[in-house]
Structure formats: structure tokens, C-alpha cells
Structure 1
Amino acid sequence: MTDATGTRCAAIVGPYLSGKTTLLESLLFASDGVDRKGSIKDGNTVGDSSPESRSRHMSTEVSAASTKFLDEKWTFIDCPGSIELWQETINALMVADIAIIVYEPSTERALSLVPLFKILNDYNIPHVLFLNKMDAINEPVLAVLQALKEVAVRPLVLRQIPIRDGDDIAGYVDLVNGRAYKYRPGEASELIDMPAAMQDEFDAARTEMVEALSDFDDTLLEQLIEDRMPPKEEIYGYLTSGVRQGNIVPVFIGAAEQDHGVRRLLKALRHEAPDGAMTAARLGIDKTGDTIAQVFKSYHTQHSGKISLARIWSGSVSDGATLSGHRVGSLLSLMGGQQNKVTRANAGDVVGFGRMDDVQTGDVLTESGEIPAGMPTPPEPLTPVYSLAITPRNRNDEVKLTGSLQRIHQEDPSVSFQQNDDTHELVLQGQGEIHLQIALEKLAGRYKIDTGSSRPNVPYKETIQKSVSQHGRFKRQTGGHGMFGDVHVDIQPLPRGEGFEFANKIVGG
């Protein structure tokens, strides 16, 4: 057993098409969470369970799945890769103990990891890097690693070197224990003798790995100065502390489609990833014995109503409990789009709270109703950068449209909408065309509202550029008192953004 307590949570992140959902399938299969793997092509993966994900063959929202590996509980959160769905990734990272960055090995796409490296560093989230699709790599691993080092914030430390059989990657050598493994599709890798021709490459890579660790430990540095290589048990210890403290980013290799390197990744996570208690301490959450849960995602389902996905930081939650004045209608364990009722959840668990209609994404729920001291404030929703004017094709849907859009906003706070007072258009706002098309697909598929869309009209306006004064007199004599007016009109520009101001200075009228 490891020193971890409770369920641990790992967010699977990375660029579009890097293989995140496929890695989730392989992780679940390797840990006996599923009996057989699904595929993106067949539309039967655990991660892509929504109609929008399956029709587009891409993740459109986060998906959580819980499993056990060597009697230790894990929850993996599969995050979308499209930058337009970045809000989903941000929300998931706020509750993760560690992030697994999945990357298709290429020197040309290294810049795609810059946003991920930045947010992981800004929030001090431990992370590892998994070079996926090694069966199709056409560049040297060290060249890819060097390209990534140029954009990474923290040191990247290679944990494995590939064994080549001609142009193919046939296995790997573990740089800590020196063992060589041959890949076997769908099965655990086979232990083999390290090829003699790789000894020099292994020695150089292992020394580089240990030297990277010595930058953060004086004792290890002294050993290296004395030309003493520490035993593998000590190296594992340095790696564990390096990952948990966020000093290094271990780099693993594999191919999730064939299950290559996935069990090794699981074993490394098991020993090196922090648990929920360590993450709560990192976040500065003051654990006073109160039950603390943080909502990171909301769903509206056809049969179960609203489901709020939450990470429990401390205490425990029972079915029917009350948190911050809201009753837990049901307590659910998660396996993608499938939920199973449970009676109790403990610290570290990621669960679904059923029918908590007034709870929003980002809310912190406690048994006492008080938010604990030090609880970090979740990031603000992303500012919209793209918009569409939408209208229901059936006028009878106008009333239902607003309520449905509000539900979509609850699921994804980076989707917003407003009525433009100048053009009288209903404007849907988000992070890009794909982002908003997904929202329109939800309207059509889930709420049966067919809409038309177009680019919003621009409400062009005139403004005053300079001051002008006019004077005029009005006289009308029709008998009796008559009418008379002496009028002075002054028109002056105001600073940009201050709107319109009317000053009435009538005297004696």
C-alpha cells in the first residue's frame, strides 16, 4: 500500500486529438473498471457519453469515472481538448490532485501546451506528461522533449526511454529500476533483458534524471558530487517528493490505443500522486472537522434532473444530508454518463449530488453552512469572445428558450446570453463558433428547441464630437397674454462611456 488516504482525483488534459478519452478507456480497462474498451469511432467510450460528444467524435464537456487500482480508489476526469471548451478544463483542475497531460509527440505542436503549463503553474497543480501515440512517432523522443522543455514552466524529467525495433517502438526501459519491458497489446508489458546496445543511452538518461532531482535536494546533490548514484528506493522517494511539491514534471511514454505504458503510468501515479488531504493542504483549506464539498460541474439529465458533480474535501456525506441549506436528493457514484446510487461518500471522493437545483458550479457546500477560512475562490468565468444572434424557429418556444439557455449556462458558465436593447436580438455568447454550435445542439437535442442563428447586428450610434450653442426666440400673439420664449441650447460631448446627460435649466417657466 502507499501512504495515500481516500480517493485520489486525476484530471486528464491536453490538446485536441491527443488521445485523452482513449487514455481514460485504457486506464479504466487496466484497473478493471470496465470489462472491455470502447472507441471514439464506435461512440461507446465512457468519457464521451453525451450526444454532442458522440456526434462530433470529440469531448464537449468533462466526464468523471471512478475505479480501483490495487485496492486504491481513483477518479479520473476526462477534459475537452478544444481551447473553446477551456472553461470545462479549468473547473476540473480546481478539484484535481494531479493532472495528466496527454500529448501527441510532435516538435511542431509544442506551443499548444503553453496554456496548460501556465494554469498548472499558476495554481501549483502537480502534473505528469504522457507522450501518447508512440506507435506513430516519426521524430526522436529527445527532440520532442527538447521542444517541450522550451515552453514548459517546470523541469521535464524523462522517466523512460523507448526500445526500438527498426522504425517501431517495441517497449521501454525504466530509468529508475533499469528494467526493460516489451509491449504486448491489451496486456501487461513483458519483462525482458535490456538490449546491450542501449546501456550508454540508459546511463546518460538516468544520470540526467537524477541531476534534475538534485536541483531540489542538497543531500542528493552531495551524493552526485561524490560520484555516488543513490539506490533506486531513494530515487523513487525523490521523485515522489518532487511531483507532490510541484518541482518536476515526470514524462512517460506509451500508446493508449494499444494499452502500451498505461499500467506503468498507473503505478507511478499510485506511488507519487498526492491525495485529497495533501491537496486540501496545498489549497489552504482550513479543515475544522466540518464536511466540505466543492461543485465543479453541473448536468441537467432527462430522467434524474440536475446533477452537481463535487469533490469532498473533508468529512463525509450521506444520502439525504443537508449541505449549506440544500438537501442532497441522491448521492451518485460516477462512470461517465452512468450513475449508481450510493449511501455514503467520504473525503477525497468525487460524487454526484442529485436534484440540488439552486447549487451552482463553483459553490462550496458545508454541513455548517459556513465557508471555511482559506477556501480558494474559483476563477471567474471566461470573458466571451464570440457571439451569435439566435431566434426560435417556432414562436411558441420563445418562453421556453430563456429557461433552457439558463440551464446551459449553469452547466457551462462560459456560455452566456443577453437581450440587446438596441437591436432587440437575443445574443448567445461564448468562446468560439464550435462552442456556441454545441450549445445550439443542446437546445435542439435536449430541449427540442430549433433555432436559427446569425452574426449579431452592430448597433451603430452617432456621438457628439464638438460643442455647439444655439439661441432662438419664440413669439406668438393671438390676443390676451400670448406666448414668448427665449431658448439657449448647449450641446457638448461627454467622455467616452459616460452615456447621455440632459440638464434642464429653465428659468421662470
Structure 2
Amino acid sequence: MADTVGSGPRCVALVGPYLSGKTTLLEAMLAATGAVNRKGSVKEGNMVGDASAIARKRQMSVELNIAHCRFMDEDWTILDCPGSIEFSQDGRNALMAADIAVVVVEPDASKAMAVSPILKFLADRAVPHVLFINKMDNPASSPEDTIAALQAVSEAPLVLRHVPIRDSDTTTGYVDLISQRAYQYKQGEPSTVVEVPADLADAQSMARQELLESLADFDDDLLEKLLEDVVPDEKDIYRQLIENLADDNIVPVMIGAGEIQSGVFRLWKSLRHDAPSAAKTAERRGFEATGDPVVQVFKTTQARSGKLSHVRVWSGEVRDSMQLGGERVGGLFRMFGHDQTKVDGAVAGDVVALGRLEEAKTGDVLTLSGRGEGGDPWDGPLPPVYAVAVEVDKRDDEVKLSSALAKLVEEDPSCSIEHNMDTHELVLHGQGEIHLAVAAEQLAEKY
């Protein structure tokens, strides 16, 4: 099989609308790698993602979750992005660091419009992405209707990779349209190979032909083979899929259920074989592979130990105590939810947190000589749509509030502060009522 196995550390972003099941899928993906011994749940409040007290209290993602893991001896970082549109700044920034995005959706055609802004952002920036239709364990699931509705809001053609196998109203497995093998789900374990059901033969054949025709739109040799009724070589089909995914010409569609870990191992294998390398992503983003250290900050957080700048290493090797962006690196850390593990260094493709770079800001490109100019332009913060006045109970806390607000804005660029000259109030701007309510809770609990 043509693939990108052995291409170094890679990074995948999980994006999708609120309640599509991204953080549950994150937990299932980590369980599939052995990174967690027991898969947590939202109800129990014991997942790697959404580990903050605020997220667990609200039972929703309010910030980016970052988790490093290894799958089949390869390093991966998963960026689990909040689904609520009010917290979309984190997701937009994370996608600038990712090699590939998994767009997690529910099998519900009526919710397709909620995916539209995400698909447009990905298309505008040519970020390779796949669709994962989650919650296929729901008896009312309808992937066919969902795909039709999503195609209406996707610029690139959606290419079905799997045909679901159903037993009455239950999805029990799928047929892979390239390998033409059938798999039966086994909860918490890799799927087992089974015979392709006879009643699926026609649907499988038709879906496979549609997949090949979509790929043939970008390859004359494949088109000629199809016109001459020549069966393409399986390796050529995989090669076409990988190349067109990397160029954002197509959007492969997979199915599964994160809650019961169905289709999760197959998703991992697809990412391992199909996702572009970090070098390919750096080229897409406009970074030159010079061998010198080049990193870009995509998220800033405040930990107990101080400020952390979460970066993607685009070139070279980064080590603790070296000078980057005109400052000395005060520690390198790999993230696993809220847990951090100190490491000695990082290579191209790695995602790490750099400690105590007080002048570095989200979006900055850091090099040995200072702040770099490489890479395509970084989007500015989202414009505010909601505002509240902020005040302290005690006048003595005004200096502390100013410091806390500065840290809040540094962590979340979609927040901004204004001194209103007419009302003489300090006004906090953001993306909505929930966004600013969470910001107020963070001010009280974190800063």
C-alpha cells in the first residue's frame, strides 16, 4: 500500500459541531493506542480531554485539549477543538498547526449546516480533512442522507470509504471500498474480518465505482482504465487517495461510534497511512526546511509553573535552554490533557509546550535569530459579537484584575478589553454569552 508510514511525528485535529462527540472520540482514540488503560466518559468526568473544573461542570469543551500518544510506534499529537461556535478561535488556531483534520459529525442531515463554517475554513486554507460520521450505533442513523446534506456545503467531493453493514436498525460493521473487505465491530477491540454480506454486493459495487470515478477526475490514467473496464490496481487506488487527500481535492468519509470504540482503530490506520507528513504540511504552510529550528505558537496557556507557549516544530530541533524568538526556553513539555511531561528536545513535526517565553504570542514564528517572517499569514482574532462590563468588589483588586485580564486575552485572542470613555466602564468583549460567562469563571478560579 502506498502510504506515509514512517514520516515522523504528525498532528491531527478533531473538529466538529457541539455535541458531535469529539472529546469522546479523543478518549476512544487514546484507548486504542494504549495511552489510557480505561476509557473515561463525560458523565464520570474522568476523561483526558475537558479536564478543567469549568469544562467538567458545564460538560462541554471550553478550551483546546492536547494529547500526545503513539500509534504503532509512531508519534502523534491530537488536538481536540471545542465544538461551540463561541469557542471557535481555539479550533481555527489549532488547524493551522495540524497535518490533517477529522471533521466529526452526527448521522443527522438536519445538522449539516452547523458543519458549513468548519468546511469553509478548511477549504479556504487547503487543510486536508476527512469526515467521520460518529454515533453510528444510533438506530436512527442515516449516513446516506447525511452525506448528501454535507456535500451541499462542501467545496470538495465527499468520497465514501465505508459502506455500513446493518442488522435490522443496528450498524454492526462496514465494507471498506478500496480493499473490498468486510469488518464486524467488536466493542473495545479491533474489528474482525468477515464475509461481505450478499445483500450488500450491489450497493458496495456502486459505491466503489463512485469512489473510483471521484479519483479519476484528478488522474487521466485512472479515467482511461475505468472507460476501458480495466480493474485498477489496489495500490494505485491508495496512492491516488493519499495524493488527492494531501492536495485537498477530496474528502474521504468514514463511519464509526466513538462511545463504543467502533471504527476507531480503522480511523487510526487510515490516518497512519493517509495523513500528510509534517514536511508536506510545512511546505503547504510556506515554511522552508532549512534545518534550523523554526516553530510557530498556536496556543498560549497559563500553568502553575508559568506561561506555556504550545508550538508546532516546522524545522530543525528544539532543545531546553536554547534561545528562540530572542528568549531562553524554560522547559519543553509534552501535553496529555492537563498533565505535562518534561522532555529534553523536539524534532520537526513535534508538538510541545515551551516554558517562560514571556514575549511570545499566539501566531508568532520563532527562530534562533528572533521572530521569523516565514509561513502563510496568521489569521487575526475573531471580531467580538458580545460584551459585558467588568468590575471588582474591592478597589484594591483593580491591579490584580488588570493582570488577570491581560493573561486571559493572551490565552484567548477572541477576547478583548476596552475602557469605555462614555460610561467609564471596563468592558470585556467576546464571542457570546457563554464565552464570556466562562471567561468570568476563569478570572475568578484560574487567575
- State the TM-score, normalizing by the size of structure 1: 0.86
Whether contact under 8 Å (1:298, 1:306) holds in the other structure is yes
Q: Mean alpha-carbon deviation: is it higher for 29-38 or for 258-267? A: 29-38
Task: State the alpha-carbon separation in 1 of the partners of residues 145 and 371 from structure 2.
Answer: 51
Task: State the alpha-carbon separation in 2 of the partners of residues 9 and 142 from structure 1.
Answer: 29
Task: State the alpha-carbon separation in 1 of the partners of residues 390 and 302 from structure 2.
Answer: 22
Establish whether residue 272 from structure 1 lines up as the match of residue 288 from structure 2. no
The equivalent of 1:7 in structure 2 is 9
The equivalent of 2:150 in structure 1 is 148
Whether contact under 8 Å (1:106, 1:144) holds in the other structure is yes
Establish whether residue 333 from structure 1 lines up as the match of residue 365 from structure 2. no
Whether contact under 8 Å (1:126, 1:244) holds in the other structure is yes
Whether contact under 8 Å (1:52, 1:441) holds in the other structure is yes
The equivalent of 2:414 in structure 1 is 414
- Aligned to 2:283, the other structure's residue is in SS state helix
Query: 1:49 Cα shift?
Result: 1.5
Q: Where do 1:198-217 residues align within 5 Å? A: 198-217=200-219
Task: State the alpha-carbon separation in 1 of the partners of residues 139 and 13 from structure 2.
Answer: 25
Task: State the alpha-carbon separation in 1 of the partners of residues 305 and 41 from structure 2.
Answer: 26
User: Which residue identity lines up with residue 393 of structure 1 in the other structure?
Assistant: D
CA deviation map 1:471-496 (0-9, x unaligned): xxxxxxxxxxxxxxxxxxxxxxxxxx
Unaligned runs of 5+ in 1: 448-509
Q: Where do 1:10-89 residues align within 5 Å? A: 10-89=12-91
Establish whether residue 257 from structure 1 lines up as the match of residue 278 from structure 2. no
- Aligned to 2:77, the other structure's residue is in SS state strand
Match of 2:126 among 113, 124, 127: 124
- Aligned to 1:43, the other structure's residue is in SS state coil
Task: State the alpha-carbon separation in 2 of the partners of residues 209 and 351 from structure 1.
Answer: 37
Task: State the alpha-carbon separation in 1 of the partners of residues 337 and 139 from structure 2.
Answer: 30
Whether contact under 8 Å (1:135, 1:168) holds in the other structure is yes
Whether contact under 8 Å (1:332, 1:342) holds in the other structure is yes
Query: 1:323 Cα shift?
Result: 0.2
Query: 1:166 Cα shift?
Result: 0.7
CA deviation map 1:204-263 (0-9, x unaligned): 111111111100110100000001121222211111111111110000000001000001
The equivalent of 1:431 in structure 2 is 431
Task: State the alpha-carbon separation in 2 of the partners of residues 293 and 243 from structure 1.
Answer: 25
Task: State the alpha-carbon separation in 1 of the partners of residues 301 and 43 from structure 2.
Answer: 24
CA deviation map 1:335-358 (0-9, x unaligned): 110000000110000000011122
- Aligned to 1:183, the other structure's residue is in SS state strand
Query: 1:137 Cα shift?
Result: 4.7
Query: 1:289 Cα shift?
Result: 2.4
For the pair shown, the structure with the greater C-alpha radius of gyration is 1
Establish whether residue 349 from structure 1 lines up as the match of residue 367 from structure 2. no
Alpha-carbon distance change, 137 to 316 in structure 1, aligned in 2, over 3 angstroms: farther
Task: State the alpha-carbon separation in 2 of the partners of residues 36 and 186 from structure 1.
Answer: 10
Query: 1:153 Cα shift?
Result: 1.1
| Count of residue pairs brought into register by the alignment | 445
- State the TM-score, normalizing by the size of structure 2: 0.98
Establish whether residue 317 from structure 1 lines up as the match of residue 318 from structure 2. yes
Establish whether residue 173 from structure 1 lines up as the match of residue 193 from structure 2. no
User: Which residue identity lines up with residue 257 of structure 2 in the other structure?
Assistant: A
Task: State the alpha-carbon separation in 1 of the partners of residues 142 and 31 from structure 2.
Answer: 29
Structure with greater contact order relative to length (CA < 8 Å, sep ≥ 6)? 2
Task: State the alpha-carbon separation in 1 of the partners of residues 5 and 262 from structure 2.
Answer: 27
Task: State the alpha-carbon separation in 2 of the partners of residues 370 and 443 from structure 1.
Answer: 30
Unaligned runs of 5+ in 2: none
- Aligned to 2:190, the other structure's residue is in SS state coil
Establish whether residue 183 from structure 1 lines up as the match of residue 189 from structure 2. no
Whether contact under 8 Å (1:286, 1:372) holds in the other structure is no
Whether contact under 8 Å (2:107, 2:142) holds in the other structure is no
User: Which residue identity lines up with residue 300 of structure 2 in the other structure?
Assistant: S
- Aligned to 1:129, the other structure's residue is in SS state strand
Task: State the alpha-carbon separation in 1 of the partners of residues 111 and 81 from structure 2.
Answer: 19
- Aligned to 1:235, the other structure's residue is in SS state helix
Whether contact under 8 Å (1:290, 1:368) holds in the other structure is no
Task: State the alpha-carbon separation in 2 of the partners of residues 161 and 23 from structure 1.
Answer: 20
- Aligned to 2:391, the other structure's residue is in SS state strand
Whether contact under 8 Å (2:112, 2:150) holds in the other structure is yes
The equivalent of 1:484 in structure 2 is none
